Chain A
Amino acid sequence: MVARGCGGVWRRLRQRCAVRPGSGPFPRGERAVACNARGGMMSAGKSGLTPWIPVVGLEIHAQISSNSKLFSGSQVQFAAPPNSLVSFFDASLPGTLPVLNRRCVEAAVMTGLALNCHINKKSLFDRKHYFYADLPAGYQITQQRVPIAVNGSLSYSLCIDNKMSQMVTKTVRIKQIQLEQDSGKSLHDDARSQTLVDLNRAGVGLMELVMEPDMCCGEEAAAAVRELQLILQTLGSSQAVMAEGQLRVDANVSVHHPGEPYGVRTEVKNINSIRFLAKAVDYEIQRQIEELGNGGTISNETRAFDSKLGCTVPMRDKEGKQDYRFMPEPNLPPLILYDAKSLPANMNHQQVINIDWIRERLPDLPSVKREKLVEQYGILPEHSFTLLNEDGLPEFFENVVKQTQMKPKKVIGWILNDLLSYLKQHSLTVKESPVSSFLLADLLNLLEKKEISSTAAKQVMAIKAGNQKVLNKLIGLVQKKTQGRSNPVLVKQLLEKKLSE
């Protein structure tokens, strides 16, 4: 997808990353990333050469968490029988018209407010034309001219030098947020030279978030996306699970010498996790530096990230520069939003969206939650980051604190060092923890009263956590015996029942 006018925007921007003297020559062949929280400069392969400044911008598509689609009443659901969640409008049958889903608009307004955007009280819908089998109408309804929200910012934090104790806050500007339709899914069957199309996803509401190219490396991009993910999940506007395609990130990467205009950018797609995002961006920066260092050029192309090989490759299917022939969507009047001042007197409430009403009901964002935890419990800021990074962990921590005499500052150590590491070792989520907050609080109370030793407490936790490991081992043995014919879920249930007897 061609970013609208992105080339121009990139050139007009001031250099965002701090200029600092090169950190020394890199041995040839080493792909270590020089960029970190302190600055964006990376030295070239040999000493004495002009350093490179990488520039990274992200285009993010977040699937809106709603019951039905953006312009039709079909259900939104991951993994359903093919073409079962498709209405006549989604299939683009003649005579059908788009009808805007109120919930999707609210989700976009919430997200815009959380990201400090200006909400456009009047926004417009447009058609973006291109031909593809999973786009039955031949166009996508989007908001190209006047999107619903503009000019926001996202703050995120990074550890300097991999030390959690030194965190720095960075900001990336949000250019705009727009509502648009998702396309269907294409399954390529190269063997039979055909493409199978499932339209279940066609028409699902998306929020496209365009970030300005204020970042300089994979670490920053990953941290920004992680924070965005937490914000979206807190708001409930999107579940933002990358693995299920609810959060899709495309990275625009270029490099240039200080003082020179921005270089040609490439677009990197097919990034399926935050970890891969950092890898893909860093690889692409390195690739461009090496290419330019060898006297080559960078073409304005789209590349795909190959997670197995850890590199980016040119994408076959993109055919040159697209002309999307944008035109206003003739079937939709402008979207008008109101606030407390402009609220119309005699309009049906269901037909009115009040920005102020939504703003008042925004939940505490992650950054606010972290501050509150630090203030209330006296834990360190980096602890609050680790807490919020795990779904359900802040609540678990607070429950333990409520039930124990041990000081929160000591409790946090047990939560983050002992409990969390056990959970990670056994690949469990907080909700699946074999050690309940009640049990842990009990344990810590015994510790406080000096009735047990610290070592003993750790052992108890290990045993409890280990039970899960033993359980998994037993399930494995059953599978082996039955030669894979047993249902693992049922086996687990039966074993758990037996063990609790």
Chain B
Amino acid sequence: MRVLSLGRWLRAGRVPPREPASRPSGHRHSGHRPQGPPQELPQGPSQKVSVEVLEHLEHLALVDFRDSEGVERLQKAIQFADQLHEVNTDGVEPMDSVLEDRCLYLREDDVTEGNCTKELLENARETVEEYFVAPPGNIPLVKLEGQKTFLQGSK
């Protein structure tokens, strides 16, 4: 069974059904089954996300976790995704795209696009002589005036 077939359950935001011995199985899945009531996130190996990792993530993804609720939401999201570990994927080849059986379309090497400078620049907040304008150096995390980020404050 492919890992992605769990998608149906995950999208519904529910936990895949567990099977008490008495119920006829509509959906068989191998692997260990965690104990505990359904419709609740399994406790699993709870990984507390460290401040260092959070800062690293903030820097990489240019997001600001802003407050404890943001961090908590991340924690819950990780726990939710950890349910994937419940599935035994021994000997199953990973699938990285539902397109894997499709044909990759090859385009002829003709010039068919471009020459829309005006349209493109319309979207930019600031331009200089048909160039886009960016801050010097690299893109910094947007800082709220005077405020340190939540993580910096929590240290």
> Which A residues are within 8 Å of any B CB, using their own CB?
66-68, 72-75, 81-89, 91, 93, 99-105, 124, 129, 131-133, 186-190, 193-199, 317, 319, 323, 325, 328, 330-336, 350-351, 353
B62 to A, closest residue via Cβ: A131
Residues of A within 8 A of B131 (CB): 82-83, 187, 196-198
Q: A73-B114, A83-B117, A194-B136 in contact; A336/B109 too (CB < 8 A)?
A: no
Residues of A within 8 A of B133 (CB): 194-197
Complex Cα–Cα for A68 and B109 (A): 6
Residues of A within 8 A of B132 (CB): 83, 133, 196-199
* CB-based contact B60/A195 at 8 Å: no
Complex Cα–Cα for A336 and B105 (A): 10
CB distance from B137 to the nearest CB of A (A): 6
Which of B97, B107, B111 is in CB contact (< 8 Å) with A75?
B111
* CB-based contact A86/B114 at 8 Å: yes
Q: A83-B130, A323-B60, A333-B97 in contact; A351/B114 too (CB < 8 A)?
A: no
Cβ of B134 under 8 Å from chain A? yes
B98 to A, closest residue via Cβ: A330
Q: List 29 A-B contacts (CB under 8 A).
A: A66-B109, A72-B113, A73-B110, A81-B130, A83-B117, A83-B130, A83-B132, A86-B116, A86-B120, A88-B113, A99-B105, A100-B104, A101-B106, A103-B108, A131-B62, A131-B138, A133-B132, A133-B139, A194-B133, A195-B136, A196-B131, A196-B132, A197-B134, A199-B120, A328-B97, A332-B99, A333-B104, A334-B100, A336-B104
Complex Cα–Cα for A132 and B113 (A): 24
Residue of B105, B107, B117, B139 with most chain A CB atoms under a 10 A cut-off: B107
Residues of A within 8 A of B103 (CB): 333, 336, 351
* CB-based contact B104/A83 at 8 Å: no
Interface residues of B in 101-155 (CB under 8 A from A): 101-117, 120-121, 123, 128-139
* CB-based contact A87/B139 at 8 Å: no
> Which B residues are within 8 Å of any A CB, using their own CB?
56, 60, 62, 96-97, 99-117, 120-121, 123, 128-139
Complex Cα–Cα for A350 and B105 (A): 10
The B contact surface, by secondary structure, is: loop
Which of A67, A186, A195, A335 is in CB contact (< 8 Å) with B111?
A67
Which of A68, A195, A328, A334 is in CB contact (< 8 Å) with B135?
A195
Complex Cα–Cα for A91 and B122 (A): 12
A133 to B, closest residue via Cβ: B134
Complex Cα–Cα for A105 and B105 (A): 12
* CB-based contact A86/B100 at 8 Å: no
CB distance from A138 to the nearest CB of B (A): 9
* CB-based contact B107/A101 at 8 Å: yes
Residues of B within 8 A of A196 (CB): 128, 131-134
* CB-based contact B104/A332 at 8 Å: yes
Complex Cα–Cα for A328 and B98 (A): 11
Residue of A75, A89, A104, A124 with most chain B CB atoms under a 10 A cut-off: A75
Complex Cα–Cα for A74 and B109 (A): 10
Which of B100, B129, B134 is in CB contact (< 8 Å) with A195?
B134
CB distance from B128 to the nearest CB of A (A): 6
Complex Cα–Cα for A124 and B100 (A): 10
Complex Cα–Cα for A85 and B139 (A): 24
Residue of B100, B110, B134 with most chain A CB atoms under a 10 A cut-off: B134
CB distance from A364 to the nearest CB of B (A): 24
Q: A81-B130, A333-B97 in contact; A102/B108 too (CB < 8 A)?
A: yes
A85 to B, closest residue via Cβ: B114
Residues of B within 8 A of A189 (CB): 136
* CB-based contact A102/B136 at 8 Å: no
CB distance from B83 to the nearest CB of A (A): 20
A72 to B, closest residue via Cβ: B113
Residues of A within 8 A of B104 (CB): 100, 332-336
A124-B96, A323-B60 are known; give 14 further A-B pairs, CB within 8 A: A73-B112, A74-B111, A81-B117, A81-B130, A84-B114, A84-B130, A86-B114, A89-B113, A133-B135, A133-B139, A319-B138, A333-B97, A336-B104, A350-B106
Complex Cα–Cα for A100 and B102 (A): 14
* CB-based contact A73/B107 at 8 Å: yes
* CB-based contact A91/B120 at 8 Å: yes
Residues of A within 8 A of B115 (CB): 84-85
CB distance from A103 to the nearest CB of B (A): 4
Residues of A within 8 A of B56 (CB): 323
Complex Cα–Cα for A209 and B71 (A): 41
Complex Cα–Cα for A81 and B117 (A): 9
Complex Cα–Cα for A99 and B96 (A): 19
* CB-based contact A87/B105 at 8 Å: no
Residues of A within 8 A of B96 (CB): 124, 328, 330
Residues of B within 8 A of A331 (CB): 99
CB distance from A355 to the nearest CB of B (A): 14
CB distance from B64 to the nearest CB of A (A): 14
Residues of A within 8 A of B120 (CB): 83, 86, 88, 91, 199
Residues of B within 8 A of A87 (CB): 113-114, 116
CB distance from A141 to the nearest CB of B (A): 13
* CB-based contact B135/A83 at 8 Å: no
Residues of A within 8 A of B135 (CB): 133, 193-195
CB distance from B93 to the nearest CB of A (A): 13
